[in-house]
């Protein structure tokens, strides 16, 4: 009999939407942000990008805020919040055509007005902002080795920290990253990233390595978090795994089933960052905080 750990999440919002879920993120303070659209299909390579409207839902404390972004020339795949409440959206694919380079990052105020636009490069896997407003960007292989017109990709180091205006602050060039699978920015003093082809999970403090773990097993972890039992990792759209940590080695232990307080499985997107775990179910938003 296969052992399965059951993890109970509490419903924190009754929520359903007529719009389509596009993406989401947990901000550094535990705020959940969702990107929604009425579009049925997204073509990330069509150029020029058609201007569309995007709805951003912000779940904070006991309220749901909505920010409407109008006539946006991007398809936002990543979203996060700066400390002043302004919103960053990023399109994961970024065209370079000769001297023309797309500005695939845009910052908006809470009223949906554009403040500035800049470039973060192609092949973006994850974007997370820490408490100093440093933007951490991880890249997959095409953003590291070049595609979509990029001979010298911005993401060649695999993981890069940018200032609020998009200027480069630091890069993980010494790690030889081929694909940065997962990122978890708890704070500037606690940044975790997991990469191929070394299969190391590294912790940084102020951009200096403090610890590294080797991850064993055949599964690719796309997001993860730590709790008192070890590590929780998502390995595909429907599978969450428990991993054991021993002697700086992380090994898969068993599957985790995410359930509500009545024991019913929660089906939908999962989000992990710091001590926060969210699930976007059909009828609501569910949450667990690991103290």
The answer to whether 137 and 78 have CB atoms below 8 angstroms apart is no
Residue 1's pLDDT is: 56
Please, what's the b/e burial string for 99-109 (b: 16 or more CB within 10 A of its CB; e: otherwise)? eebbebbbbbe
Please, what's the b/e burial string for 249-269 (b: 16 or more CB within 10 A of its CB; e: otherwise)? ebebbeebebbbeeeeebebe
189 in helix, strand or coil? Answer: coil
Residue 115's pLDDT is: 98
Q: What is the pTM of this model?
A: 0.96
Residue 280's pLDDT is: 97
Q: How far is 223 from 133, CA to CA, in rounded Å? A: 21
Ramachandran assignment for 221, one of left (phi > 0), alpha (psi -120 to 50 degrees), beta (any other): beta
Question: What single DSSP character describes residue 27?
Answer: -
Please state the φ and ψ torsions of residue 183, each to the nearest 5 degrees.
-145, 140
Tens digit of each residue's pLDDT, the chain (291 residues): 568 999 999 999 999 999 999 999 999 999 999 999 999 999 999 999 999 999 999 999 999 999 999 999 999 999 999 999 999 999 999 999 999 999 999 999 999 999 999 999 999 999 999 999 999 999 999 999 999 999 999 999 999 999 999 999 999 999 999 999 999 999 999 999 999 999 999 999 999 999 999 999 888 999 999 999 999 999 998 899 999 999 999 999 999 999 999 999 999 999 999 999 999 999 999 999 998
Residue 3's pLDDT is: 83
């Amino acid at each position: 009999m296969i052992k399965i750990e059951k993890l109970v999440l509490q419903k924190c919002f009754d929520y359903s939407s007529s719009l389509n879920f596009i993406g989401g993120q947990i901000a550094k303070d535990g705020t959940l942000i969702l990107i929604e659209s009425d579009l049925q299909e997204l073509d990330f390579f069509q150029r020029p990008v058609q201007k569309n409207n995007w709805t951003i839902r912000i779940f904070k404390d006991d309220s749901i805020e909505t920010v409407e972004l109008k006539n946006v020339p991007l398809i936002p795949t990543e979203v996060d919040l700066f400390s002043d409440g302004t919103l960053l959206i990023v399109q994961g694919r970024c065209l370079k055509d000769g001297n023309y380079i797309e500005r695939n990052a845009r910052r908006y105020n809470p009223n949906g007005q554009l403040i500035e636009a800049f470039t973060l490069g192609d092949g973006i896997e994850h974007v997370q902002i820490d408490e100093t407003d440093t933007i951490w960007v991880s890249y997959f292989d095409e953003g590291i080795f070049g595609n979509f017109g990029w001979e010298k990709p911005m993401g060649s180091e695999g993981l890069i920290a940018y200032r609020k205006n998009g200027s480069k602050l630091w890069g993980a060039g010494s790690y030889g990253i081929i694909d940065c699978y997962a990122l978890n920015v708890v704070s500037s003093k606690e940044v975790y990233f997991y990469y191929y082809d070394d299969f190391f999970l590294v912790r940084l403090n102020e951009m200096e390595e403090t610890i590294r773990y080797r991850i064993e097993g055949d599964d690719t972890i796309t997001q993860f978090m730590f709790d008192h039992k070890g590590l929780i990792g998502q390995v595909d759209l429907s599978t969450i795994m428990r991993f054991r940590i021993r002697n700086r080695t992380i090994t898969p232990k068993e599957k985790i089933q995410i359930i509500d307080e009545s024991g019913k499985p929660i089906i939908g997107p999962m989000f992990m960052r710091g001590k926060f775990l969210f699930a976007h179910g059909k009828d609501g938003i569910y949450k667990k905080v690991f103290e």
